[in-house]
Structure 1
Amino acid sequence: MSKYYVNKFLYTVDRDPELMKRYAEDPRNLVATWEQSIGPRLIGNDVEESTVVALTDHEREALINHDYVALFEMGAHFFLNLTMYIGIFDEPYIQKSGPLSFQREFAAKLQHWKGREYPTVEV
């Protein structure tokens, strides 16, 4: 797994409201667009490009499917992973079950990690 590239995706998309909206509505298209034209660029530098320019099939599918559990298990940075999906799922969950509903589900889906060492986020 390219933890760097997955974390870069989570970081850049989460901090751009337009990208976040596109990711929530059409993740397959946004992931492809990001991988081809946004991801290779260095943040804050439109001249140089990163040498990491592709996601693995497993990473791509997890991002397309909003599979935050798989991303966690692959070693995506916990905070970047959580904040990304709070941005996508929090409002519907609040309307359905009240405050912190998505965070509780996130924690529940990761219960199988309780007492185990978390996957490393080292690149």
Structure 2
Amino acid sequence: MSRYYVNKFLFTVDRDPELLRRYKENPRTLVETWEQAIGPQLNSVEFSTVNGFTDAEREALVNHDIVALFEMGAHFFLSLTIFIAIYDEDWTALHGPLSFQRDFARRLAHWEGRDYPPVGE
């Protein structure tokens, strides 16, 4: 897994309201667009040709699969913040404050007492 590239995706999409909206509405299209056009950008004039998502990473991002991303080593804070931005308002309306965060913890409860997957490369 390219933890760097997945984490770059989570970081950049979470900090851009337009990308975040597109990721919520049509994740597959946004992941494909980001991987081809946004992710390779190193700065305003330079691009990388060495990064790309694996099929498993791409599907986890498309499906908003928090557990799979965590288990592949995506940074848990980056995952939590982007998915709070996507889901928290809806979850709070249905289940009350911090309900998404509680569900996030519940989904990862099988990791309690175990070493977390490494988040650095």
TM tier, smaller: over 0.9
| Normalised TM-score (structure 1) | 0.96
Q: Which residue of 2 aligns with 1:50?
A: 48
CA contact (8 A) 1:5 1:52 kept: no
Q: Which residue of 1 aligns with 2:20?
A: 20
What TM-score do you get using the length of structure 2 for normalisation?
A: 0.98
* Runs of 4+ with deviation above 3 angstroms: none
Runs (5+) with no aligned partner, structure 1: none
Determine the C-alpha separation between the residues in 2 that align with 1:13 and 1:30.
9
Aligned length: 121
Which string of whole-angstrom CA distances, capped at 9 and with x for unpartnered residues, describes residues 29-80 of structure 1?
A: 00000000000002xx111113433100000000000001100000001110
SS in 1 for 2:44: strand
* Larger proportion of strand: 1
Query: Percent identity over the alignment?
Result: 69
Instruction: Name the aligned partner's letter for residue 111 of structure 2.
Output: W
Unmatched 5+ stretches in structure 2: none
Determine the structure 2 residue equivalent to 1:34.
34
